Amino acid sequence: MADSDRHLLLSRIRDVPDWPEPGVVFKDITPLLRDPAAFRTVTELLAGIGGEQVDVVVGIEARGFILGAPVAHRLGAGFVPIRKQGKLPWETSTASYQLEYGEATIEVHRDAFTPGERVLIVDDVLATGGTVRATVDLVRGSGADVVGVGVLMELGFLNGRDKLADVRVEALLTL
Ligand SMILES: O=P(O)(O)OC[C@H]1O[C@H](OP(=O)(O)OP(=O)(O)O)[C@H](O)[C@@H]1O
Ligand SMILES: Nc1ncnc2[nH]cnc12
């Protein structure tokens, strides 16, 4: 990434100390989304991680939807939402995991993928890696192939990659 792009993105991510609980420094991307140049830059760079052979982009609720959908559009791919428990209307596959601040369960529709489809997973933050690990397992469990994971930022000190040795993970920024 160009230095100018890196500086632009870093300048649009706001640290919010002690949110949602004491001891967590929350990385707020709303200033980045609000800035057309920064938003477009992130979308283009994440699409570049996928390359040309992506059939489906998976976005993880909620911030992964905001980044994943424009990436899918740009790649000419479909979009599949991975949602928090209880939000999807049809039959689902489910996975649970720990977060930096709590615990969560995610779901995907059982017919979301065709076996052999090439999937790019998109999210805003890789922290402890639990969310992406659960997502990779859901996608693979349906018979699709994960070609990579693209995140806007990785919180390196939380060692999320330790859970993801079997998948290609690209972060635009490492903090
Ligand atoms: O690597 P991990 O430790 O699993 O954490 C990363 C996840 O945490 C945040 O989502 P959150 O569950 O807070 O949901 P939100 O996007 O709805 O705020 C973030 O958007 C990632 O999805
Ligand atoms: N510190 C953090 N900021 C924003 N999103 C997160 N997801 C997990 N940890 C996070």
At 97, list the tokens: 């995991």
Total number of domains in the chain: 1
Band of residue 102 on the pLDDT scale cut at 50, 70, 90: confident
169-174 and 145-154 strand pairing: parallel
What are the pLDDT digits (tens) for 144-155? 999 999 999 999
CB distance 67 to ligand 1 below 6 Å: no
Average of per-residue pLDDT values in the chain: 97
Give 147's strand partners.
Answer: none
Q: Check if 100 is active-site.
A: yes
Whether residue 133 is contained in a domain is answered as yes
**pLDDT given at position 99:** 87
Is 107 part of a structural domain of the chain? yes
* Domain hosting residue 158, numbered range: 53-174
84-97: pLDDT as tens digits: 999 999 999 999 99
Is residue 15 scored above 90 in pLDDT?
Answer: yes
96 lies in some domain: yes
Reported as half-sphere exposure (CB side, CA atoms, 13 A), residue 31 has a value of 11
CA of 36 to the centre of ligand 1 (A): 23
Query: What share of the chain in percent tops pLDDT 90?
Result: 95
Task: Tell me the per-residue pLDDT of 117-170, one tens digit each, with 9 for 90 and over.
Answer: 999 999 999 999 999 999 999 999 999 999 999 999 999 999 999 999 999 999
Q: Is residue 21 in a domain?
A: no
74's torsion region: left (phi>0), alpha (psi -120 to 50) or beta? Answer: alpha
Residue 165 within any structural domain of the chain: yes
* CA–centroid distance, residue 147 to ligand 1 (Å): 21
pLDDT tens sequence across 17-60: 999 999 999 999 999 999 999 999 999 999 999 987 999 999 99
DSSP states of 143-159: T-EEEEEEEEEE-GGG-
Query: Whose alpha carbon is nearest atom 1 of ligand 2?
Result: 26
Please state the atom number of ligand 1 nearest to the C-alpha of residue 126. Answer: 1
Residue located nearest, by CA, to atom 5 of ligand 1? 127
Judge whether 35 lies within some domain: no
pTM: 0.97
Six-digit token pair at 87? Answer: 């939000």
Structural domain contains residue 77 = yes
Domain annotation covers residue 31: no
Tell me which residue has its CA closest to atom 2 in ligand 2. Answer: 26
Q: What is the CATH number of the domain that holds 161?
A: 3.40.50.2020
* Single-letter amino acid code for the residue at 56: V
